[in-house]
Amino acid sequence: MSITTDIQNNLVNLEKNTLDKLTSIDNAEDLSELRTQLLGRNGELTQILRSIGDLNTNERKLIGQASNALKNKLEHILNEKNTELISVQPSNLESLDVSLPGKYQPIGRLHPITQTLRQILDVLRRLGFTVVEGPEVELSSYNFDKLRIPENHPARDMWDTFWIDRKDESMLLRTHTSPMQIRYMETHEPPIRVAVPGRCYRYEATDMTHEWMLQQVELLAIDKDVSLADLKGTLHEFARQIFGSDSEVMLRNSYFPFVEPGVELAVKFRGKWLEIMGAGMVHPEIIENAGYNSSVYTGFAAGMGIERIAMAVYEVDDIRHFYTNDLRFLSQF
Protein backbone atom coordinates (compact mmCIF):
# COMPACT_ATOMS: atom_id res chain seq x y z
CA MET A 1 0.00 0.00 0.00
CA SER A 2 1.18 3.38 -0.91
CA ILE A 3 1.29 6.36 1.39
CA THR A 4 -1.54 7.90 -0.53
CA THR A 5 -3.81 4.94 0.13
CA ASP A 6 -2.95 5.12 3.81
CA ILE A 7 -3.87 8.71 3.89
CA GLN A 8 -7.04 8.13 1.98
CA ASN A 9 -8.03 5.42 4.43
CA ASN A 10 -7.26 7.72 7.28
CA LEU A 11 -9.51 10.33 5.81
CA VAL A 12 -12.38 7.87 5.44
CA ASN A 13 -11.94 6.64 9.00
CA LEU A 14 -11.71 10.14 10.28
CA GLU A 15 -14.98 11.03 8.66
CA LYS A 16 -16.73 7.94 9.97
CA ASN A 17 -15.42 8.36 13.49
CA THR A 18 -16.36 11.98 13.54
CA LEU A 19 -19.91 11.30 12.44
CA ASP A 20 -20.16 8.61 15.12
CA LYS A 21 -18.94 10.93 17.79
CA LEU A 22 -21.22 13.68 16.71
CA THR A 23 -24.34 11.65 17.44
CA SER A 24 -23.46 11.43 21.11
CA ILE A 25 -22.52 15.12 21.53
CA ASP A 26 -25.21 17.14 23.28
CA ASN A 27 -23.46 20.33 24.38
CA ALA A 28 -21.38 23.14 22.86
CA GLU A 29 -18.27 22.51 24.96
CA ASP A 30 -17.88 18.94 23.81
CA LEU A 31 -18.46 20.04 20.26
CA SER A 32 -15.76 22.66 20.59
CA GLU A 33 -13.39 20.03 21.91
CA LEU A 34 -14.12 17.78 18.97
CA ARG A 35 -13.43 20.64 16.62
CA THR A 36 -10.04 21.16 18.25
CA GLN A 37 -9.24 17.46 17.99
CA LEU A 38 -9.89 17.59 14.28
CA LEU A 39 -9.06 21.01 13.08
CA GLY A 40 -6.98 22.57 15.87
CA ARG A 41 -3.30 23.33 15.64
CA ASN A 42 -2.44 19.71 16.40
CA GLY A 43 -5.74 18.32 15.16
CA GLU A 44 -5.92 15.06 13.28
CA LEU A 45 -6.98 16.60 9.99
CA THR A 46 -4.51 19.42 10.43
CA GLN A 47 -1.71 16.91 10.79
CA ILE A 48 -2.85 15.12 7.64
CA LEU A 49 -2.84 18.38 5.76
CA ARG A 50 0.59 19.18 7.10
CA SER A 51 2.00 15.87 5.93
CA ILE A 52 0.95 16.56 2.34
CA GLY A 53 4.13 18.60 1.89
CA ASP A 54 6.16 15.37 1.78
CA LEU A 55 4.26 13.97 -1.24
CA ASN A 56 5.06 14.31 -4.93
CA THR A 57 3.06 16.71 -7.07
CA ASN A 58 0.39 14.27 -8.31
CA GLU A 59 -0.17 12.70 -4.94
CA ARG A 60 -0.25 16.06 -3.34
CA LYS A 61 -2.96 17.17 -5.74
CA LEU A 62 -5.00 14.06 -5.15
CA ILE A 63 -4.74 13.95 -1.38
CA GLY A 64 -4.89 17.71 -1.06
CA GLN A 65 -8.20 17.85 -2.83
CA ALA A 66 -9.61 14.97 -0.83
CA SER A 67 -8.50 16.30 2.53
CA ASN A 68 -9.60 19.86 1.80
CA ALA A 69 -12.96 18.52 0.70
CA LEU A 70 -13.22 16.60 3.96
CA LYS A 71 -12.14 19.65 5.91
CA ASN A 72 -14.91 21.71 4.34
CA LYS A 73 -17.44 18.96 4.86
CA LEU A 74 -16.53 18.46 8.50
CA GLU A 75 -16.56 22.20 9.17
CA HIS A 76 -19.97 22.38 7.64
CA ILE A 77 -21.27 19.48 9.73
CA LEU A 78 -19.73 20.85 12.90
CA ASN A 79 -21.25 24.27 12.29
CA GLU A 80 -24.65 22.76 11.69
CA LYS A 81 -24.40 20.71 14.86
CA ASN A 82 -23.36 23.83 16.72
CA THR A 83 -26.34 25.78 15.46
CA GLU A 84 -28.58 22.91 16.47
CA LEU A 85 -27.08 22.75 19.94
CA ILE A 86 -27.41 26.51 20.50
CA SER A 87 -30.95 26.69 19.20
CA VAL A 88 -32.12 23.85 21.41
CA GLN A 89 -31.59 25.32 24.85
CA PRO A 90 -31.38 22.95 27.72
CA SER A 91 -34.44 23.30 29.92
CA ASN A 92 -32.41 23.33 33.10
CA LEU A 93 -30.50 26.69 32.50
CA GLU A 94 -30.45 28.59 35.75
CA SER A 95 -32.54 31.74 35.87
CA LEU A 96 -30.48 34.92 36.41
CA ASP A 97 -31.20 37.53 39.04
CA VAL A 98 -31.36 40.35 36.56
CA SER A 99 -31.36 42.88 39.32
CA LEU A 100 -27.72 42.12 40.07
CA PRO A 101 -25.32 44.82 38.85
CA GLY A 102 -23.68 44.44 35.47
CA LYS A 103 -19.94 44.03 35.25
CA TYR A 104 -18.21 47.10 36.66
CA GLN A 105 -16.93 49.63 34.14
CA PRO A 106 -15.19 52.74 35.43
CA ILE A 107 -16.66 56.09 34.44
CA GLY A 108 -14.74 59.32 34.08
CA ARG A 109 -16.11 62.81 33.76
CA LEU A 110 -14.94 66.22 32.74
CA HIS A 111 -14.68 68.76 35.51
CA PRO A 112 -17.93 70.80 35.66
CA ILE A 113 -15.99 73.96 34.87
CA THR A 114 -14.55 72.32 31.74
CA GLN A 115 -18.05 71.25 30.75
CA THR A 116 -19.46 74.74 31.24
CA LEU A 117 -16.52 76.35 29.49
CA ARG A 118 -16.96 74.04 26.51
CA GLN A 119 -20.63 74.85 26.21
CA ILE A 120 -19.82 78.53 26.31
CA LEU A 121 -17.07 78.29 23.72
CA ASP A 122 -19.24 76.13 21.47
CA VAL A 123 -21.95 78.78 21.48
CA LEU A 124 -19.44 81.51 20.80
CA ARG A 125 -17.91 79.58 17.92
CA ARG A 126 -21.34 79.26 16.39
CA LEU A 127 -21.67 83.01 16.71
CA GLY A 128 -18.50 83.45 14.66
CA PHE A 129 -15.94 83.91 17.45
CA THR A 130 -12.48 82.38 17.22
CA VAL A 131 -11.01 81.01 20.42
CA VAL A 132 -7.57 82.35 21.36
CA GLU A 133 -5.59 82.26 24.58
CA GLY A 134 -3.27 84.62 26.38
CA PRO A 135 -0.72 84.44 29.20
CA GLU A 136 -1.83 84.08 32.80
CA VAL A 137 1.25 85.87 34.05
CA GLU A 138 0.94 89.36 32.65
CA LEU A 139 2.55 92.76 32.67
CA SER A 140 0.64 95.49 34.42
CA SER A 141 0.77 97.48 31.20
CA TYR A 142 -1.53 94.91 29.58
CA ASN A 143 -3.58 94.07 32.64
CA PHE A 144 -4.09 97.71 33.58
CA ASP A 145 -2.47 100.68 31.83
CA LYS A 146 -3.37 99.85 28.25
CA LEU A 147 -6.90 99.15 29.46
CA ARG A 148 -7.02 102.70 30.81
CA ILE A 149 -6.56 101.68 34.43
CA PRO A 150 -3.54 103.77 35.38
CA GLU A 151 -1.52 103.34 38.52
CA ASN A 152 -2.95 105.27 41.43
CA HIS A 153 -6.40 105.41 39.94
CA PRO A 154 -9.17 104.22 42.25
CA ALA A 155 -10.45 101.98 39.44
CA ARG A 156 -7.53 99.69 40.28
CA ASP A 157 -9.38 98.80 43.46
CA MET A 158 -11.85 96.92 41.27
CA TRP A 159 -9.17 94.29 40.68
CA ASP A 160 -7.25 93.11 43.72
CA THR A 161 -4.00 91.84 42.35
CA PHE A 162 -1.38 89.21 43.06
CA TRP A 163 1.98 90.74 42.16
CA ILE A 164 4.98 88.65 41.20
CA ASP A 165 8.26 89.16 43.00
CA ARG A 166 10.57 89.72 40.04
CA LYS A 167 13.13 92.20 38.88
CA ASP A 168 10.45 93.38 36.48
CA GLU A 169 8.11 94.72 39.13
CA SER A 170 5.22 95.07 36.74
CA MET A 171 4.62 91.31 36.55
CA LEU A 172 1.36 90.06 37.97
CA LEU A 173 -1.21 87.30 37.76
CA ARG A 174 -3.82 88.58 35.37
CA THR A 175 -6.96 89.66 37.16
CA HIS A 176 -9.11 89.26 34.08
CA THR A 177 -8.85 88.00 30.50
CA SER A 178 -9.12 91.55 29.14
CA PRO A 179 -5.34 92.01 28.55
CA MET A 180 -5.77 89.66 25.60
CA GLN A 181 -8.01 92.30 23.99
CA ILE A 182 -4.95 94.48 23.67
CA ARG A 183 -2.57 91.69 22.72
CA TYR A 184 -4.91 90.46 20.03
CA MET A 185 -5.50 93.91 18.58
CA GLU A 186 -1.74 94.50 18.44
CA THR A 187 -1.33 91.64 16.00
CA HIS A 188 -4.59 91.65 14.06
CA GLU A 189 -6.67 93.92 11.88
CA PRO A 190 -10.43 94.24 12.02
CA PRO A 191 -12.84 92.58 11.59
CA ILE A 192 -12.18 90.85 14.90
CA ARG A 193 -14.32 88.37 16.77
CA VAL A 194 -12.45 86.48 19.44
CA ALA A 195 -13.25 84.63 22.63
CA VAL A 196 -10.51 84.28 25.23
CA PRO A 197 -10.90 81.64 27.93
CA GLY A 198 -8.50 81.22 30.82
CA ARG A 199 -7.56 81.27 34.45
CA CYS A 200 -7.53 84.59 36.30
CA TYR A 201 -6.54 85.43 39.83
CA ARG A 202 -7.82 87.84 42.47
CA TYR A 203 -6.10 88.78 45.66
CA GLU A 204 -9.16 88.28 47.79
CA ALA A 205 -10.31 86.06 50.59
CA THR A 206 -12.48 83.12 49.62
CA ASP A 207 -16.03 82.62 50.75
CA MET A 208 -19.13 81.00 49.33
CA THR A 209 -19.18 83.27 46.29
CA HIS A 210 -15.53 84.33 45.93
CA GLU A 211 -12.51 82.36 44.86
CA TRP A 212 -8.99 83.67 44.38
CA MET A 213 -8.62 81.57 41.24
CA LEU A 214 -11.34 81.79 38.63
CA GLN A 215 -11.92 81.17 34.96
CA GLN A 216 -13.17 83.80 32.60
CA VAL A 217 -14.13 84.12 28.99
CA GLU A 218 -13.55 87.44 27.29
CA LEU A 219 -15.31 88.50 24.11
CA LEU A 220 -14.07 91.09 21.69
CA ALA A 221 -15.79 92.08 18.45
CA ILE A 222 -14.50 94.95 16.34
CA ASP A 223 -15.81 95.94 12.96
CA LYS A 224 -17.42 98.81 11.10
CA ASP A 225 -20.64 99.91 12.77
CA VAL A 226 -20.68 97.49 15.69
CA SER A 227 -23.25 98.86 18.13
CA LEU A 228 -24.57 98.44 21.64
CA ALA A 229 -27.65 96.85 20.07
CA ASP A 230 -25.33 94.27 18.48
CA LEU A 231 -23.87 93.62 21.91
CA LYS A 232 -27.33 93.12 23.35
CA GLY A 233 -28.46 90.89 20.49
CA THR A 234 -25.32 88.76 20.51
CA LEU A 235 -25.30 88.29 24.26
CA HIS A 236 -29.01 87.51 24.31
CA GLU A 237 -28.45 84.80 21.73
CA PHE A 238 -25.58 83.56 23.88
CA ALA A 239 -27.88 83.53 26.92
CA ARG A 240 -30.60 81.67 25.05
CA GLN A 241 -28.16 78.91 24.12
CA ILE A 242 -26.70 78.60 27.60
CA PHE A 243 -29.69 79.30 29.84
CA GLY A 244 -32.56 78.22 27.65
CA SER A 245 -34.55 79.64 24.79
CA ASP A 246 -36.89 81.59 27.05
CA SER A 247 -34.16 83.45 28.93
CA GLU A 248 -34.32 87.23 29.10
CA VAL A 249 -31.42 89.63 29.32
CA MET A 250 -31.15 93.06 30.87
CA LEU A 251 -28.45 95.67 30.52
CA ARG A 252 -27.63 97.93 33.44
CA ASN A 253 -25.35 100.91 33.67
CA SER A 254 -21.87 100.03 34.83
CA TYR A 255 -18.32 101.22 34.68
CA PHE A 256 -15.15 99.66 33.36
CA PRO A 257 -12.40 102.04 32.27
CA PHE A 258 -11.87 100.22 28.96
CA VAL A 259 -15.43 100.49 27.69
CA GLU A 260 -17.79 103.40 27.10
CA PRO A 261 -20.72 102.99 27.56
CA GLY A 262 -20.17 100.31 30.18
CA VAL A 263 -22.88 97.87 31.13
CA GLU A 264 -23.60 94.88 33.29
CA LEU A 265 -25.53 92.05 31.67
CA ALA A 266 -28.05 90.15 33.76
CA VAL A 267 -29.87 87.02 32.64
CA LYS A 268 -33.21 85.90 33.95
CA PHE A 269 -32.78 82.26 34.83
CA ARG A 270 -35.27 80.22 36.84
CA GLY A 271 -37.03 83.42 37.81
CA LYS A 272 -33.97 85.20 39.15
CA TRP A 273 -31.79 87.89 37.61
CA LEU A 274 -28.18 86.79 37.56
CA GLU A 275 -25.41 89.23 36.80
CA ILE A 276 -23.18 87.17 34.57
CA MET A 277 -20.98 89.61 32.75
CA GLY A 278 -19.53 93.05 32.47
CA ALA A 279 -19.57 94.47 28.99
CA GLY A 280 -19.56 97.63 26.93
CA MET A 281 -18.40 99.37 23.80
CA VAL A 282 -14.62 99.35 23.43
CA HIS A 283 -13.27 102.75 24.45
CA PRO A 284 -12.27 104.75 21.36
CA GLU A 285 -8.86 105.44 22.87
CA ILE A 286 -8.17 101.69 22.92
CA ILE A 287 -9.31 101.39 19.32
CA GLU A 288 -7.00 104.26 18.35
CA ASN A 289 -4.09 102.79 20.33
CA ALA A 290 -4.47 99.60 18.33
CA GLY A 291 -3.90 101.66 15.21
CA TYR A 292 -7.49 101.50 13.99
CA ASN A 293 -9.55 104.52 13.13
CA SER A 294 -12.12 104.91 15.90
CA SER A 295 -14.46 106.89 13.68
CA VAL A 296 -14.65 103.89 11.34
CA TYR A 297 -14.31 100.96 13.73
CA THR A 298 -16.33 100.37 16.84
CA GLY A 299 -16.57 97.25 18.93
CA PHE A 300 -17.87 95.57 21.99
CA ALA A 301 -16.17 93.63 24.73
CA ALA A 302 -17.57 91.42 27.44
CA GLY A 303 -16.17 89.29 30.22
CA MET A 304 -17.87 86.53 32.13
CA GLY A 305 -16.96 84.32 35.07
CA ILE A 306 -17.39 80.63 34.35
CA GLU A 307 -17.82 79.58 37.97
CA ARG A 308 -20.76 81.95 38.41
CA ILE A 309 -22.48 80.51 35.37
CA ALA A 310 -21.76 76.92 36.43
CA MET A 311 -23.06 77.69 39.92
CA ALA A 312 -26.32 78.97 38.46
CA VAL A 313 -26.80 76.19 35.97
CA TYR A 314 -25.94 73.35 38.36
CA GLU A 315 -27.32 75.11 41.45
CA VAL A 316 -24.02 74.80 43.30
CA ASP A 317 -24.24 76.78 46.53
CA ASP A 318 -20.56 77.26 47.28
CA ILE A 319 -17.93 78.28 44.72
CA ARG A 320 -15.22 76.55 46.76
CA HIS A 321 -16.56 73.14 45.72
CA PHE A 322 -15.06 73.55 42.28
CA TYR A 323 -11.38 73.49 43.14
CA THR A 324 -11.56 71.27 46.21
CA ASN A 325 -11.88 68.33 43.77
CA ASP A 326 -13.87 66.13 46.08
CA LEU A 327 -14.71 63.18 43.82
CA ARG A 328 -18.16 62.96 45.43
CA PHE A 329 -18.76 66.45 44.01
CA LEU A 330 -17.09 65.93 40.64
CA SER A 331 -18.91 62.65 39.99
CA GLN A 332 -22.24 64.48 39.97
CA PHE A 333 -21.61 66.23 36.67
Partner 1 sequence: MLVSLKWLNTYVTLPTNLDVDKFAETLTMASAEVDAVIKIGQEWDPSLVVTAEIVSIDKHPNADRLRLATVNYGAEDNQQVVCGAPNLSIGQKVAFGREGSELTNPQTGKKQKLKANKIRGITSAGMILSEAELGISDNHDGIIELATDTPIGLPLQDHLGDTILDIHIWPNRPDMMSMVGIAREISAILNNTIQHPLKYNLEASDNNQKIKVLVENENLCSRYIATIIKNVSVGPSPGWLQERLQSIGQRPINNVVDITNYVMFELGQPLHAFDLDKIDGNITVRSAHKDEPLQTLDNLERTLTPEMLVIADDSQPIALAGVMGGKNTEVTETTTNILLEAARFDPVSIRRTSNKLALRSEASSRFERGLSSHLALDATQRAIQLFIEITGATPPDNYVDIHPIPNENHEIQLARTRIDTLIGFYIPTTEVISILENLGFSVKSTTINGGDELFTVQAPWWRTDITIPDDIIEEIVRLAGYDRLPESTISGQIPAWEPNNELVFREEVRDSLVKLGWQEVITYSLTTKEVLQKVLPPEEIEGFDFFRLKNTLSSDREILRPTLRHSILETIERNIRLGANNIAIFEIASVYLSQKNNSLPEEKSLLTGAISGFEINRWGQPTSKPLDFFDAKGTVENLLENFDTKANYEHSEMFGFITGRTASILVNNTPIGFIGELSLDTLTQFGISQPTILFELELEILLNQLKLQKEFLPISKFPSVQQDLSLLVPYSVSVGEVQNVFENSIIVSSAEPFDVYTGDGVADDCRAVAININYQSMERTLSKEDVEKEQQKILKQLKKLYDIHPRF
Instruction: Give catalytic residue positions.
Output: 159, 176, 202, 216, 259, 301
The residues facing 219 across adjacent strands are 195, 302
Instruction: Report the residue number, 33 or 288, with the smaller CB distance to partner 1.
Output: 288
Residue 276: helix, strand or coil by DSSP? strand
Say whether residue 30 binds partner 1 (CB under 8 A). no
Closest separation in Å from C-beta 151 to partner 1: 8
Question: Which residues 182-211 are close enough to bind partner 1 by CB under 8 A?
Answer: 191-193, 199, 201, 203-205
Q: Which of 67, 143, 216, 234 binds partner 1 (CB under 8 A)?
A: 234
Contact 325, 199 (CB under 8 A): no
Closer residue to partner 1, CB minimum distance, 35 or 193: 193
Site for partner 1 in 60-99 (CB under 8 A): none
Query: Which 3-state string (H, E, C) describes 68-113?
Result: HHHHHHHHHHHHHHHHHHHHCCCCCCCCCCCCCCCCCCCCCCCCHH
| Closer CB to partner 1, 83 or 203, in the complex | 203
**Which of 155, 183, 241, 247 lies at the binding interface for partner 1 (CB under 8 A)?**
155
- Candidates 7-15, 84-92, 136-144, 312-320 — which segment interacts with partner 1 by CB under 8 A? 136-144
First-to-last C-alpha distance (Å) of the chain: 79
Single out the segment in contact with partner 1 by CB under 8 A; choices: 1-9, 72-80, 251-259, 308-316. 251-259
Position 167 contacts partner 1 (CB under 8 A): yes
Query: Please, what is the minimum distance in Å from the beta carbon of residue 92 to partner 1?
Result: 25
Residue type, 229: A
Residue 230 sits in the site that holds partner 1 (CB under 8 A): yes
Closer CB to partner 1, residue 81 or residue 238?
238
Distance between CA 143 and CA 148 in Å, rounded? 9
The Cα 235–Cα 283 span in angstroms is 19
Determine if the peptide bond prior to 106 is cis (ω within 30°).
no
171-173/248-254 β-pairing: unpaired
